[in-house]
Amino acid sequence: MCRALYLSLMLATALHPALPVTAQVADEPVCLDHPYDAAEGTDQALRLAGLIDGLRPTLAAFKRLGAALEDRKPRICLTPSLVLESGFLLPDANRIEIDGRLDDAMVTAIMLHELRHLDQVVAQICPDDSLAMEQVAQATFALEADANAITLLVAWHMRRNGDAAVWNALAGWPSTGDIAARFAASMGDHDDPARAVAEAFDQWYTSEERRQRYYIATCSDYLDRRDDSKRLPSYKQLPQDYLDGVCLLPDGTPYACRAPEF
């Protein structure tokens, strides 16, 4: 399964002081189950239901992400208690948690990001502890680069259809603003979504700080699990064609991607 992804997915959307936050949030997590109806819920429940409902027409244009929501039916929660992250996926619990203090555009962006991770779970491309530690880290890099790129693809689609809020939120996000800029430049030059996604995937790797953060977190989590399980060290490698299963647009079309070695 994808238990090994837990920590890296938490770090996928790390909080930054510059991110927009809402003025008031509930004291306790607010969670909705599919079909995410909150007709008589609290303000936060109504807010979450509205954001999910508003995203559904967009997801209809992105088959695999729509299936992650409507077929996998994850529990989605807004919580005020996140400290080092702004959102994460718990694969075994089939639950997405998002920091409810963030504004609507950023909550939607994080929801898209985590739905892509859930799609990766469905595709059974998550690394596990039979792999060597460095190989788990390399797989995590690829999954994270893909999730960022696909989220930008959806946000660009929303922008072209008159709603630029999610794109603007991502473009102003300090940890991934450079990736958004690379995507936008590619679209401006070529107007080719698959190429723009590929360039965004590549841009994720250009930040040494980003890679180092994920490497340390992923390896620390890997070592903790190995200590808990008393497993012997493993040296299994990723399949040569691993990226073929990662680098797919939401309609299943491959996009060109390459994972540099460090």
Dihedral angle of Cα 195, 151, 162, 196, to the nearest 10 degrees: -10
- CA 25 to CA 95: how far, in whole Å? 20
Predicted confidence (pLDDT) per residue in 127-178, tens digit:
988 899 999 999 999 999 999 999 999 999 999 999 999 999 999 998 889 9
- CA 176 to CA 262: how far, in whole Å? 20
**Average pLDDT across the chain, whole number:** 89
Please give the average per-residue pLDDT across 5-15, as a whole number: 40
CB atoms closer than 10 angstroms to residue 259: 19
CA angle 48, 50, 53 (to 5 degrees): 110
Answer whether residue 200 shows pLDDT above 70.
yes
pLDDT of residue 164: 98
Give bridge partners of residue 98 from the DSSP assignment.
78, 87
Percentage, residues of the chain above pLDDT 70: 90
pLDDT of residue 50: 97
pLDDT of residue 110: 96
Answer whether residue 14 shows pLDDT above 90.
no
pLDDT of residue 112: 98
Percentage, residues of the chain above pLDDT 90: 73
- CA 83 to CA 90: how far, in whole Å? 16
pLDDT of residue 243: 97
pLDDT of residue 24: 54
Reported pTM = 0.90
Residue 22: pLDDT band (50, 70, 90) is: low
Predicted confidence (pLDDT) per residue in 23-64, tens digit:
455 578 999 999 999 877 899 999 999 999 999 999 999 999
pLDDT of residue 217: 87
Query: Is the alpha carbon torsion for 40, 41, 44, 49 positive or negative?
Result: negative
Please give the average per-residue pLDDT across 2-19, as a whole number: 42
Is pLDDT larger for residue 74 or for residue 82?
Answer: 74
